[in-house]
Chain A
Amino acid sequence: MFVSLDLLLNAIVAGLLLGGFYAAVTLGITISFGMLDIANIAQPAFILLGSYAAYTLNSNWGIDPILVGVAMLPVFFVIGMAVYRLYYYAFERRGEQAIQGLAFFFGLLFVGEVSLVLVFGVDYRFVEASYIGPSLHFWTIDLPLRMLIPCLVSLLMVALLQVYLTHSFIGRAILAVSQDGLALQLMAASPIRIKQIAFGISTATCALAGTFLIIIQPVEPSIGRDYIGRIFAICVLGGMTSFPGMVAAAMLIGIVESITATFYGPSWAPAVAFGFLLITLAVRPAGLLGR
């Protein structure tokens, strides 16, 4: 096959932009699964909830979707804390995290999806904003603003959280609980409270990730499923707990998916993430930048 340089360069740039968005989607899982050891496979349901919140406010009052995402952060934070409370009382306290906990989140994923179908139907929904449509051009490379803005805001969000985790008291406590919960307890801090806040943050990121999703592409309720394999692949590939590793892994998967979609057709792209997940688990379970 003849590979033109233009096409390849554009695919790589599109992949980088896509990767920035994937970083936002995976951020919550890196916190909940990587740091807290809670396999929240209902994450895509929360992301879609964010998308539909943006859709509702945008289509009714014309509010900018990213603004909606920022405004929804506290709401999602509280939802996340409530879900963790339930999870803690029902499973973690009894020491029955394994199958029961997974089944719980699986049920949550399904209930979320079906509820969205009941409320919004199965039609594709989209938002309107001034930056959806136009794109920048450099030489032969296209930079659609629809991809660029989510990517930049997402990287900003990751950077802010990284600073928060390493420099604030609560943030360092979250890192501590991910390393050793018992030791934290001996330092007279309650791991449950810290975990509750951390899980709240992980859910809050879904508010923004959801608005990015609906800016990038039209959304319907079952679309979230495609992201399960992808986000866990990125999380594992990125070394579970490291944000820089996660961003690198997200960019890598973004580029590979984009190249696959350009040269082989978009219907093959979903298989890429899983291939990566398997290879990572088999060859290097510690991830790209893992310890």
Chain B
Amino acid sequence: MRTGTFWLVLIAVGIVLLVLSRALVLNEYFYFAAYVVLQYIVLSTAWNILGGYTGYTNFGTAAFFALGAYTAVVLHKTTAVPLPLMIVAGGAVSGIVGLGMGYLTLRLRGVFFAIATLAMAIVVQTLIVNWDYVGGSRGIYIIRPQQAPLVGSYIQYLYSLMLIMAVLSVGIARTIERSRLGLGFAAIRDDEQAAEAGGVPTLRLKLIATTLSGAMMGMAGAPLPYYVTYLDPASSFNLAYAVNSVAMPVIGGMTSWIGPVIGAVLLGTIQQIATVTISSALNLLIVGLLLIFFVIIAPNGIVGLVQELRRLGEGGRRAKAPAPNVKAKAG
């Protein structure tokens, strides 16, 4: 599918989802649950742009996410800008931090980079804990506006915004995947030194990846204060965000845009169901166990499994009637 066509289909899917849920779903809880799943689509897609395409593991998702949320808090306290502007601002702040993280890749690769991002999340959390203006460690209450700008309740408004962000991020991921940029990312992932020697501007590409990935995470975090109405560092910097944004692409498949989406929808829905029916601590255990299970059994995720099955099926058919171009392909 051409990139332009893909965007059209994606936007159409988004509009259909929006209209259908507005028309059919009256239960408010649906929007609360769907918001979280959509938020994870954005987070895992953002993580995958750096982790899956470029091969740099980021364990600091929570930091970017929470920075977006706290940017919204600051704007909420100082000005009265509408939420979409806060989202843009949250994306900008997290994007700048992402750019800084990109410069880390100059010296840190592989494991060292991953540990640095994990430690960076703790440092950002320390800064927020010590910043009294945004509530410090006590947290802060945010009063949700009574009226949503469009028809419907405020949670429906949040849901619609998150749906738009999910559509945008999936579209961006797929566009990157099929562009020269995506080829460059893949070259860095496979062998950074060879890519550099081959004339790929590795530093510039890595900076694009970290900035974009960070900005998308920040945008996903900006509506959070209005969603939870009470924001504190312990919950907004929760390790669960980092684990989920790693687990979802790993489980879905890291090489393609559809992987994080599958992972987010699957894991996000399981977690929502488990939270309601069992307990919220147990649903995190499920995520952890699934992550370990998939990373051992199916390192290429669900997408990888499907590809393998399809290859096996094709191989079976070829064995019966060998196609003439097999040799050419092998050579």
Do A and B come together as binding partners?
yes
Q: Are A229 and B118 in contact (CB under 8 A)?
A: yes
Please tell me which stretch of B1-9, B104-112, B206-214, B221-229 contacts chain A, meaning at least 4 of its Cβ atoms lie within 8 angstroms of it.
Answer: B104-112
- In Å, the complex CA distance between A107 and B289 comes to 7
- Contacting A274 at CB < 8 Å: which of B57, B120, B129, B287? B120
B130 within 8 A of A: yes
B59 surroundings in chain A (CB, below 8 A) = 106
- The answer to whether B107 touches A103 (Cβ under 8 A) is no
Q: Is B284 an interface residue (CB 8 A)?
A: yes
* A-side interface mostly: helix
Tell me if B239 counts as interface (CB < 8 A to partner A).
Answer: yes
Pairwise interchain contact B51-A99, C-beta atoms closer than 8 A: yes
Given A39-B115, A99-B57, decide whether A271 and B126 contact each other with a Cβ distance below 8 A. yes
Asked whether any CB of chain A lies closer than 8 Å to the CB of B17, the reply is no
Q: Name A264's closest neighbour in chain B (CB-CB).
A: B130
Are B110 and A98 touching (Cβ within 8 A)?
yes
Q: Does B309 contact A (CB under 8 A)?
A: no
Known A110-B284, A268-B130; judge A228-B119 contact (CB<8 A).
yes
Q: Give complex CA distance A110, B284 in Å.
A: 8
- Expressed in whole angstroms, the minimum distance between the Cβ of A110 and any Cβ of chain B is 4
Chain A residues within 8 Å of B118, by CB: 41, 228-229
* Nearest CB in chain B to that of A94: its residue: B299
Q: CB < 8 Å: which of A90, A113, A281, A285 contacts B116?
A: A281
A136 part of interface (Cβ distance < 8 Å): no
B interface: dominant SS: helix
Q: Bound state CA distance, A281 and B118, in angstroms?
A: 15
Assembled-state Cα–Cα distance A108/B288 (Å): 7
- B residues near A267, Cβ cutoff 8 Å: 126, 129-130, 137
Chain B contacts for A273, CB-based, 8 A: 119
Q: How large is the interface on B (under 10, 10 to 19, 20 to 34, 35 or more residues)?
A: 35 or more
CB atoms of B114 and A108 under 8 A apart: no
Candidate in A106, A232, A281 with the most chain B CB atoms within 10 angstroms: A106
Instruction: Tell yes or no: B19 within 8 A of A by CB.
Output: no
Give residues 215-240 of A contacting B (CB, 8 Å).
222, 225-226, 228-229, 232-233, 236
Q: How many residues on chain A are close to B (CB under 8 Å)? A: 44
Query: A117 at interface (Cβ–Cβ under 8 A)?
Result: yes
| A17 to B242 Cα, complex, angstroms | 33
List B contacts of A100 (CB < 8 A): 250, 295, 299
How far is A98 from B108 in the complex, measured between Cα atoms in Å? 14
A108 to B123, CA, bound (A): 23
Contact, CB under 8 Å: B119 / A281:
no
Q: In the bound complex, do residue B284 and residue A114 qualify as a contact, i.e. CB atoms below 8 Å apart?
A: yes
A170 at the interface (CB under 8 A from B): no
Query: In this assembly, does B75 line the interface, its C-beta being within 8 Å of a C-beta of chain A?
Result: no
Q: In whole angstroms, how far apart are the Cα atoms of A113 and B246 in the complex?
A: 17
Q: Mark B276-305, 1 if CB is under 8 A from A, else 0.
A: 000001101101110110011001000000
**Residue interface mask A73-107, B partner, CB < 8 A = 1:** 00000000000001000100010101110111011
Evaluate contact between A274 and B114: CB separation under 8 angstroms: no
Q: Are B282's CB and A118's CB within 8 A?
A: yes
A244 to B199, CA, bound (A): 43
CB distance from A273 to the nearest CB of B (A): 7
Interface residue? A277 (CB, 8 A):
yes
Inter-subunit contact A268/B239 (CB<8 Å): no
- Bound together, the chains give a CA A39 to CA B117 distance in angstroms of 14
A246-274 toward B: CB 8 Å interface, digit per residue (1/0)? 00000000000000000001011011011
Contacts known (A267-B130, A277-B119); A103 close to B246, Cβ less than 8 A: yes
Q: Taking each of A39, A94, A236, A274, which has the highest tally of chain B beta carbons within 10 Å of its own beta carbon?
A: A274
The answer to the question of B243 belonging to the interface, with a C-beta cut-off of 8 Å to chain A, is yes
**Chain A window 14-40, contacts with chain B (Cβ cutoff 8 Å), 1 for yes, 0 for no:** 000000000000000000010000010
Question: Which A residue's beta carbon lies closest to that of B289?
Answer: A111
Within 8 A of A (CB), among B87-128: 104, 107-108, 110-112, 114-116, 118-120, 122-123, 125-127
- Nearest 9 A-B pairs (CB), nearest first? A229-B119, A111-B288, A107-B291, A110-B288, A274-B119, A39-B111, A107-B292, A90-B296, A271-B126
User: B-contacting residues of A (Cβ < 8 Å)?
Assistant: 33, 39, 41, 86, 90, 94, 96, 98-100, 102-104, 106-108, 110-111, 113-115, 117-118, 222, 225-226, 228-229, 232-233, 236, 265, 267-268, 270-271, 273-275, 277-278, 281-282, 285
Apart from A103-B246, A117-B281, A226-B122, what 7 extra A-B contacts exist at CB < 8 Å?
A: A33-B111, A106-B59, A106-B291, A107-B291, A107-B295, A113-B239, A277-B115
